[in-house]
Structure 1
Amino acid sequence: MDVRQLEYVVAVAEELNFTRAAARCHVAQSALSYQVARLERKHGVTLFERTSRSVRLAPAGELLLPRARAVLAGIEAARVELAELAGVVTGRLRIGMIGSTGQAAPVVERALAAFHHRHPGVEIAIRDTGSRHMAGQVRDGELDVAFVGLHPGQLPAGLTHRVLADEPLVLAVPHGHPDSGLADLATRSAFVEMRAESGLRRQVDAVFARAGLTRRIAFELATSDAVARFVAHGFGPAVVPRSAVEARPGDVSALDLADPDARHPIVLVHRGPAPSAPGARAFLAVLDEFEARAPVRAPRS
């Protein structure tokens, strides 16, 4: 087996989809599928159970996956150490990032752009699989850093965190909608929500739980910006960060919630005390610079 085959196996195992794995590895799906099948034939095993609708690891795949990751990590470490001897930061920076970082967005985006300019030899890979999943991926070493919408107490143990922003949640309704409280809308309207694995959804669920309310959910979307757009079109009310409403003046109005704990944080997480990847450490240094210039933490009211 060769290194490229191991990269394909890891990609398919993590994506559980041959098309996404091929896109991630920048190859045609047919080429990736051929190499995986070739590896299976050579060793007389089945690595993945395939159906027309799903892909999952077979027992042989479960056995090979951690060893493949270890081999690839060793090769990457050697490449990085050689580059460091030459004074160049290389490698791969794996970032998890929620669809909308709210008030932290300007700092995060400018820091990422500056990092890319300063360290062009680092390949940047960004994914959004939901705050809960990404926090676990950082813990397990599958991501170097992640920006998530979870409070520190909701993070897995062993992660270092930094709160970049913390803004209030508000009740979003179409502009001109008569003022109604959360309890009233919960009884007669279906809500627009974030997807279940998101950090914002967890905070919104907590708002309803503290109020002793249940609600019907009409739509589940990927970003708070998309939620606000659906509210503007009259699909239903939503509980979102205030910045999502402020981004749509004239379309959506914000009604305050009588809940001081209704907040949405943007938290940076990584393995402590610092990420092992040089690219990740370099990125955190750049982020420190930009946050020092324009801190974005919103004080509690």
Structure 2
Amino acid sequence: MSITIRTKTIILPLFFSCLSFASVHISAEQSLTTLEQLAAAPQRSELNIQRNQYRNPVETLAFFGIQPNMSVLEIWPGHGWYTEILAPFLKDQGQLTLAQFKQNDGSFKDERSIFWARVSARLAERLIEEKAYFGEPALVELEPPLLYPQQNDQFDMVLTFRNAHIWNEDGNLFATLQSLFQVLKPGGVLGMVEHRAARLSDISSSAVDGYLDESYLIQAAEQAGFSLVATSEINANPADTKNYPKGVYALPPTLAMGNYNKQEYLAIGESDRMTLKFVKPLQEPIQ
């Protein structure tokens, strides 16, 4: 796969001597090897491993610059596809925190909230059952736009995979990004992967169900205070035409159209995705 990375230059203090740079390079190589091993770990289902070809977890996490001694917040981990890699990677030197869906206190009425609360509860149970593998990730809740509890300047990195379109549909995108900005340490990284809408021109796009315009998402993050430092085509899929009856959900893994054109959708694969790396500036801009 050809990978294109576009970067923006930002001014940050440089503290590394040549010797320390060499040690960081070695550490990065070791981290990459560990990520590769975890992406194919026997604790992961065969189906989850098969999806590596679309989600590219090793390349994506390396692009975001993850290190094993970081404090990382994963937003809405769902069934734990990325958690299976992140938790063991961080358990010895760092700390993983999972921002789960809100627990169902018996008052939920809509099926989506009930379903995702059940998914979150099952993942929490699995973390306990397989503690030797996962370590002890901390658990918080994200009920957009707020995290419970929310502690400012806490994390080195926040990761969100294919969640922004949901926040946007519910009218919570900007406010949720503001919450994520607050919990990041100055200099911390926000890594985002999101289904990418078809771009029609510099000022318009076609965003059917589940897709989000890349420029729009970047602008929302920048308005929340983040600085975009790099974009990548790691998770691009040019075969995704983005014009399906049920939008992105027609593609795998959801296959919302059932058997209708199933082989065609399987041949396309998972969606075309933007991969964006932001930082929280070391000093907030003067208003």
Name the TM tier (shorter chain): under 0.3
Relative to its length, the structure with more helix (as a share) is: 1
Q: TM-score, normalised by structure 1?
A: 0.26
Give the structure, 1 or 2, with the largest relative contact order (CA under 8 Å, sep 6 or more): 1
Q: Please say which structure displays the higher CA radius of gyration.
A: 1
